[in-house]
Structures are given as structure tokens and as C-alpha cells.
């Protein structure tokens, strides 16, 4: 009696919180995950309610909690039919076209169900009146918007598989695309540029795919509740916790936050005894192998060649029972072909987790869904992973790294011989079995079980509410600020400016060094030679004028006009000069001695005519020829120092008629 009294005294000290679970009935694995969370919290003594929009009625509730169920309408049924027409066995594994193949059917399906929920009379008011302490949601973003409408103190975002890229970006987790595989990357080699490029593209594709349903649902909320309704991304960013269904022991490491809690294995921990039906099937032979491709992809729609490849591989092991999840065991293929192989058992559904924990199951052929990977890891069953879509390629790569699984291309299922060899490896290879046992041991020896992590963290936020210090500042920063692009731009501009200044200074020093080694620049030598040649010519012109005046007094000049094109004069100055008196020809100056060096451009003016030159002299054709011949010979006799072609062009540009040296010549004339 005293013990009962003490127990009653302790009861008020135990806090019970009201918790709402948004569990959309769309796929078995998703509903199982949220159902396990709901039941775990209920078993911990909390008041748990499951809000269930029914997209697919064939999916069970998977929970023992109170259920508020909303049935689908015709619009949802139509979209579900379109979704089921997708053949996941034929679409590319990398899924570069995923936003255009699966995006519209998925977005249309979940938005149609959300639209029906929002138009249910009194739903939001009823949920708001319940005054829930915590709300958890998974799958589509409709529950995210509802959490804002009912003003729940603590909102928890869940993921039934690995961390989704859009959720990671929303809450401020960086996912470096150089080494963190995307949602659908089969394998990434960080040291391969091509592998990193494919992973980078996969990240973009999957972000686009996951954002399409969210964008459709956000539009519904804004249309119904006004344009000022907050972004669903902002609601997720301020979530109190994020729960995933991944396990660090077998997952690929990536950056994370304190508020991210990994609950991998919370579904697999709920193992139940097998009933007589399944016990009898396992008793048919000493060993059994399970074939299951999940609840979304259906083996019925698999290409016929792939089906025949599978039964060919199964028939190669007559002493093993193969349990194949096949949704229509009454179809023609099952009746006419599968029935001929005696060791195959077809079933529409199976207790997969319970079967895997039976020691007679020696191998598992799986699509590598998140739930299946955790179940097979805990059960230590060697596996062949055949990823079909979504996060399954990443899951397959992660579990294969542990050594307990092989990755098999879904497009090779038609190859019965290759599939047989893979089955033989996972069934008979002792190293694979040891790796599977080691992974199972690590999961069993974790410091805290998934259920403990869930209960302690939910109770913590239920008592304290959302903790702002768990939100990184990056959720309030834009792309430029996060990646310091503005700072990098300034650094780039400064470095570029310094480089250009150094380049300019180096060019200046190089040119200065060249001038010192040559004594004088070629352009200066040319100008000096031209000026001296012109001065000598002017002196001779003055003498010629005096002779002309003298001859005019005696007799008329016998010189006749000579007509020669300018081009021939310039091209043959030597032939012309040979017929002229040597006294009037120009002789190239010899290099000056140290004593004879004068200032550049200086002319001995004492040798020039004392009176202005009579320009009428140039009317005489012979004198015109003399002038041109001397000028051409002066130019042709100059051999300037060798200079680079580029520098020569620059100096040639300086020696145009506008240069100072030539201006002096023309002014002298």
C-alpha cells in the first residue's frame, strides 16, 4: 500500500505533452517511419495524435495512436493513377530528367491532397484548439504550412530517408558538392573531376525535383491565406529539430548541425514473430532469399526481359527458396512462366523486417530504400542493392562501402548469368558475411538507441520550445554573403591592379635597359642622319644657285629636262647618282668620335647658305632629281641597330612627319 502511495505521488512529476504527427499515407516506408515515431512517443507516456491524409488507401496506418483521417477525392485519385504509370525500372538511375518525369506527377498528387485538406471545414480551427506542444511532419510540405496556421510552439521537420538537399539548405547545412553525394548519386570519387561534375549536376537536379511539390503547396497557402503567408522554406529553417532516418555507422559523412537527430533503425527495431504462413514458407528449404523493390516501384511493370533474367537466376539455386514481392501473382507472366520454377514464391506483401531477422534468410535483393537498408544492416543479411530512383543510389553506395553489399545496375536485370554470379557472391562469400555481422554489431552497441534519442529530444523541445541558438546565421544570409563573393571580388581587383602595375614597371625597366645597351635609339639615329644629309644638300643647292647665276650671264643652260617617275628614282638611287657630279652627292656620315660628338640634332649652321633658299630651284627637274637621289641614298645607307619587330613598329610610328626632327627639316626648307 505504501509503494502505491509513493507511485501516485510521483505521477504528477511525469510531464505528458500533446504531440501532433502529420503522416501522409502515400508510401509504406514513409508511413512506417512516422508510425514508429508516433508509437514510440505514445509508449513514453505522451498524448499523440496522428493526422492522416489518405493518398493511397492500400497503405496501412502503421500506428496505434489516435488517428484523424481525411480521405482523398477524385482529383487525388487521378493524380495517383498518373504517378503509378511511371516505370521506375526503365528511367535512368542518375535521373537528370527527374524534374520533368517524376516532378509534375508528384507535385500534382501532393498539392491536390493538400488543397482538399485546406478546404476541410473547421480542420484548422479544431487543430488550433487542441493546443499541441509539438508537431512533427514528413513527406509533402502541407504539414509545414499547417504548423504555422495552428501556431504550434515547436515544429519538427522529419525525413524518412537521408537528409534532403532542400531541407539541408533551408536549415543552414552546407553540402560541399565536391565530396558529399547528392540524393541520387550512385558513387562519387572526390579525386575525379568527371565524378565531381556528375555529382554537382545531380545536386542541381534533385534540388529542382524536391522544390517542385513545395512550390505548388506554398502557392496554395498564399492563395488561401494571402500573399504575406511566410515561405515554407523559412518555416523549415526555424524548425526546432530535424529528424532523419539515416545511420552514421553506414551513411556517408557530411556536415551537420546539433539540431539534426539521426533515427536510423527506429523502424527496424520493431521486430515481431512470424506467423504460421511465413514459417511454413521458410521451412520449404534450409535457406531463403528475399526479392523486394519497395512499396512504390512495382515488379509487375518491370520489363519482361528483366523478369525472365530474374527467374533464370533464381532457377540456378534449386536448394534456396526465393520470396519475391510481386504485386499481381495472377497475371500471365506469373501463371505461365514463374509457376514453372518450383523454388519461387510470389507475394503481394511480406513482413520484410520480420523475415530478415530469421536466420534462414541468407541474402536480400533490394531497391536500397532507406528503411530497407536499415533493416538489412541490423539483421546482418548480405545484400544486392538495385537502386531505382530518388535517394536509393546514395543508400546503395553507402551500404556497399561497408563491404556487406554489392551494387547491381537495374538495366542489367535481364542478364540472368550476371545476376546469378552476384547472388553466389553474397550467399557464399565469407568476407561479405563477416562485414554484415560487424555492421550489425556496431549498430547494436551504439551509446543511445534511436528511441532514446527521439524521446529525450522531443521532450526537451516540448518543455523549452524552439531554441534560436540552434539556428545558424547562414539562414539569414544570401548566396553572395555565404560564399564571400563580395570579399573575393575586392581581393581579385586589388591583386589584378598590383599585377598590372608590376607589369608596367617591368616593361619600363626593360625598355630603359635596351636604350642604354644601344647608346641611342634607332629612331634618334635615323633623325640625325636625315638632318645632316638634308643640311649637306642645302649647302650644295646654294653652290648650284651661284653657278646657275654665272652661267645665265654667259649662255643659256644646256640642261634639258629629265622626266623620270618618282618610283624609279627611289628604287634606283645608285644608278642616278653615278651620272651626277660627286661633289653634290651625299656621303653617309662616319660614326662620330668622342671629341666630335655633339648634341643630338645639332647642325653646323656655318655651312648653310647665308640667305634664304630660293624655292624656285626645285622647279628645275635636274635639281629635283638631285634632291630625291641624295635623300634616297641617305636613307638607304643607314643601317640602324637590330631591334625587335614590335619595338620597330612603335618607333616607326614616332618617325612620321609630325615628329620634331622632321619638322626642323621642313622648316629649314
Three-state SS letters, 411-435: HHCCCHHHHHHHHHHHHHCHHHHHH
Distance separating alpha carbons of residues 188 and 179, to the nearest angstrom = 7
Categorize the per-residue pLDDT at 260 as very low, low, confident or very high, splitting at 50, 70 and 90: very high
Together in a domain, 254 and 383: no
Tens of pLDDT, residues 349-391:
899 989 999 999 999 999 998 888 989 999 999 999 999 887 8
Together in a domain, 432 and 486: no
Q: Which helix (H) or strand (E) holds 577?
A: helix 573-577
Categorize the per-residue pLDDT at 655 as very low, low, confident or very high, splitting at 50, 70 and 90: low
Q: If you average pLDDT over residues 156-176, what whole number do you get? A: 90
pLDDT for 331 beyond 80: yes
Cell of 525: 639615329
Categorize the per-residue pLDDT at 319 as very low, low, confident or very high, splitting at 50, 70 and 90: very high
Of 118-122, 187-191, 254-258, 585-589, the poorest mean pLDDT is in: 585-589
Distance separating alpha carbons of residues 196 and 212, to the nearest angstrom = 25
Q: Which residues is 53 bridged to in the sheet?
A: 70
Q: If you average pLDDT over residues 181-188, what whole number do you get? A: 75
Q: Which residue has the cell 482538399?
A: 116
Together in a domain, 31 and 164: yes
Beta-strand relationship, 134-137 and 405-407: unpaired
181 assigned to some structural domain:
no
Categorize the per-residue pLDDT at 651 as very low, low, confident or very high, splitting at 50, 70 and 90: low
Together in a domain, 604 and 498: no
Together in a domain, 326 and 434: yes
Distance separating alpha carbons of residues 269 and 454, to the nearest angstrom = 13
Q: Which residues is 157 bridged to in the sheet?
A: 137, 242
Tens of pLDDT, residues 279-317:
999 999 999 999 999 878 888 889 999 999 999 999 999
Categorize the per-residue pLDDT at 407 as very low, low, confident or very high, splitting at 50, 70 and 90: very high
196 assigned to some structural domain:
no
141 assigned to some structural domain:
yes
Q: If you average pLDDT over residues 12-25, what whole number do you get? A: 82
43 assigned to some structural domain:
yes
Give alpha helix (H) positions in 11-120.
Answer: 28-43, 74-84, 98-101, 103-118
pLDDT for 658 beyond 90: no
Of 421-430, 536-545, 656-665, the poorest mean pLDDT is in: 656-665
pLDDT for 563 beyond 70: no
558 assigned to some structural domain:
yes
Q: Which CATH number covers residue 315? A: 3.40.50.2000
Together in a domain, 253 and 307: no
207 assigned to some structural domain:
no
Exposed (0-12), middle (13-18) or buried (19+): which is 46, by Cβ within 10 Å?
buried
517 assigned to some structural domain:
no
- Nearest C-alpha neighbor of 268 from the set 386, 324, 351, 183: 351
Cβ-contact 660, 534 below 8 angstroms: no
Q: Which of the pair, 668 or 136, is modelled with greater confidence? A: 136
Together in a domain, 372 and 400: yes
Cβ-contact 272, 291 below 8 angstroms: no
Together in a domain, 422 and 531: no
Cell of 573: 638611287
Cβ-contact 109, 76 below 8 angstroms: yes
- Nearest C-alpha neighbor of 102 from the set 292, 296, 244: 296
Distance separating alpha carbons of residues 533 and 584, to the nearest angstrom = 11
Categorize the per-residue pLDDT at 660 as very low, low, confident or very high, splitting at 50, 70 and 90: very low
Task: With H, G, I as helix, E, B as strand and everything else as coil, classify residue 345.
Answer: strand
Q: What is the predicted pLDDT for the residue at 143?
A: 95
Which range scores top for mean pLDDT: 186-190, 245-249, 632-636?
A: 245-249
Give the CA distances from residue 417 to residues 93, 292, 338, in Å, rounded to whole numbers and listed in that order: 22, 20, 18
Cβ-contact 258, 400 below 8 angstroms: no
Together in a domain, 316 and 280: yes
Mean confidence (pLDDT) of the chain? 81
Domain count along the chain: 4
Together in a domain, 422 and 559: no
Q: Which helix (H) or strand (E) holds 325?
A: strand 320-325
511 assigned to some structural domain:
no
Cβ atoms within 10 Å of 612's Cβ, excluding its own? 6
Q: If you average pLDDT over residues 464-493, what whole number do you get? A: 92
Together in a domain, 405 and 535: no
Which residue range(s) make up the domain with 527? 522-587+599-641
Together in a domain, 300 and 379: yes
Amino acid at each position: 500500500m505504501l509503494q502505491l502511495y509513493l507511485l501516485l505521488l510521483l505521477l504528477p512529476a511525469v510531464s505528458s505533452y500533446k504531440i501532433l504527427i502529420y503522416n501522409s499515407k502515400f508510401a509504406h516506408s514513409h508511413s512506417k517511419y512516422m508510425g514508429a515515431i508516433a508509437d514510440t512517443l505514445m509508449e513514453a507516456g505522451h498524448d499523440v495524435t496522428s493526422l492522416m491524409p489518405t493518398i493511397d488507401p492500400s497503405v496501412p496506418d502503421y500506428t496505434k495512436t489516435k488517428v484523424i483521417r481525411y480521405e482523398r477525392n477524385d482529383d487525388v485519385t487521378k493524380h495517383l493513377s498518373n504517378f503509378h504509370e511511371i516505370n521506375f525500372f526503365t528511367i535512368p538511375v542518375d535521373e537528370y530528367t527527374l524534374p520533368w518525369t517524376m516532378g509534375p506527377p508528384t507535385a500534382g498528387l501532393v498539392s491536390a491532397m493538400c488543397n482538399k485538406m485546406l478546404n476541410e471545414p473547421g480542420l484548422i480551427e479544431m487543430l488550433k484548439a487542441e493546443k499541441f506542444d509539438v508537431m512533427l511532419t514528413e513527406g509533402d510540405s502541407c504539414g509545414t504550412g499547417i504548423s504555422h496556421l495552428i501556431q504550434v510552439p515547436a515544429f519538427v521537420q522529419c525525413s524518412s530517408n537521408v537528409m534532403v538537399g532542400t531541407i539541408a539548405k533551408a536549415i543552414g547545412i552546407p553540402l560541399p558538392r565536391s565530396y558529399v553525394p547528392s540524393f541520387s548519386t550512385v558513387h562519387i570519387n572526390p579525386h575525379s573531376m568527371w565524378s565531381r561534375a556528375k555529382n554537382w549536376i545531380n545536386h542541381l537536379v534533385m534540388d529542382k525535383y524536391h522544390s517542385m511539390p513545395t512550390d505548388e503547396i506554398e502557392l496554395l497557402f498564399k492563395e488561401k491565406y494571402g500573399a504575406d503567408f511566410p515561405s515554407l522554406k523559412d518555416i523549415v529553417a526555424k524548425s526546432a529539430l530535424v529528424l532523419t532516418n539515416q545511420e552514421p555507422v553506414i551513411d556517408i559523412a557530411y556536415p551537420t548541425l546539433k539540431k539534426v537527430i539521426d533515427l536510423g533503425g527506429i523502424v527496424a527495431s520493431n521486430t515481431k514473430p512470424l506467423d504460421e504462413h511465413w514459417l511454413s514458407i521458410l521451412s520449404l528449404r534450409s535457406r531463403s532469399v528475399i526479392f523486394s523493390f519497395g512499396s512504390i516501384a512495382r515488379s509487375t511493370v518491370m520489363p519482361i526481359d528483366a523478369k525472365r533474367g530474374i527467374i533464370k537466376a533464381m532457377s540456378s539455386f534449386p536448394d534456396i527458396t526465393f520470396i519475391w514481392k510481386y504485386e499481381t501473382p495472377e497475371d500471365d507472366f506469373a501463371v505461365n512462366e514463374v509457376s514453372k520454377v518450383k523454388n519461387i514464391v510470389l507475394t503481394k506483401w511480406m513482413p520484410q523486417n520480420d523475415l530478415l531477422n530469421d536466420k534462414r534468410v541468407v541474402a536480400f535483393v533490394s531497391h536500397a530504400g532507406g528503411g530497407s537498408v536499415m533493416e538489412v544492416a541490423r539483421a546482418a543479411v548480405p545484400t544486392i542493392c538495385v537502386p531505382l530512383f530518388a535517394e536509393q543510389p546514395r543508400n546503395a553506395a553507402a551500404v556497399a562501402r561497408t563491404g556487406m553489399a554489392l551494387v547491381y545496375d537495374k538495366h542489367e536485370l535481364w542478364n540472368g548469368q550476371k545476376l546469378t554470379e552476384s547472388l553466389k557472391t553474397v550467399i557464399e562469400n565469407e568476407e561479405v558475411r563477416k562485414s554484415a555481422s560487424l555492421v550489425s554489431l556496431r549498430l547494436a552497441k551504439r551509446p543511445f538507441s534511436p528511441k532514446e534519442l527521439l524521446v529525450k529530444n522531443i521532450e526537451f523541445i516540448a518543455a523549452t520550445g524552439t531554441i534560436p541558438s540552434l539556428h545558424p546565421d547562414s539562414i539569414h544570409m544570401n548566396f553572395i554573403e555565404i560564399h564571400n563573393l563580395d570579399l573575393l571580388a575586392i581581393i581579385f581587383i586589388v591583386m589584378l591592379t598590383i599585377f598590372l602595375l608590376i607589369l608596367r614597371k617591368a616593361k619600363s625597366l626593360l625598355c630603359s635597359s635596351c636604350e642604354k645597351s644601344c647608346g641611342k635609339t634607332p629612331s634618334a639615329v635615323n633623325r640625325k642622319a636625315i638632318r645632316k644629309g638634308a643640311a649637306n644638300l642645302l649647302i650644295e643647292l646654294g653652290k648650284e644657285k651661284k653657278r646657275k647665276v654665272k652661267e645665265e650671264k654667259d649662255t643659256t643652260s644646256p640642261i634639258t629636262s629629265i622626266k623620270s617617275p618618282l618610283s624609279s628614282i627611289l628604287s634606283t638611287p645608285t644608278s642616278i647618282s653615278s651620272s651626277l657630279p660627286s661633289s653634290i652627292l651625299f656621303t653617309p656620315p662616319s660614326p662620330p668620335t668622342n671629341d666630335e660628338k655633339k648634341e643630338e640634332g645639332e647642325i653646323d649652321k656655318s655651312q648653310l647658305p647665308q640667305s634664304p633658299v630660293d624655292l624656285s630651284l626645285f622647279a628645275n627637274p635636274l635639281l629635283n632629281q638631285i634632291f630625291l637621289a641624295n635623300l634616297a641614298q641617305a636613307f638607304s645607307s643607314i643601317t640602324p641597330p637590330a631591334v625587335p619587330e614590335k619595338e620597330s613598329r612603335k618607333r616607326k610610328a614616332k618617325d612620321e612627319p609630325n615628329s620634331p626632327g622632321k619638322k626642323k627639316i621642313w622648316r629649314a626648307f
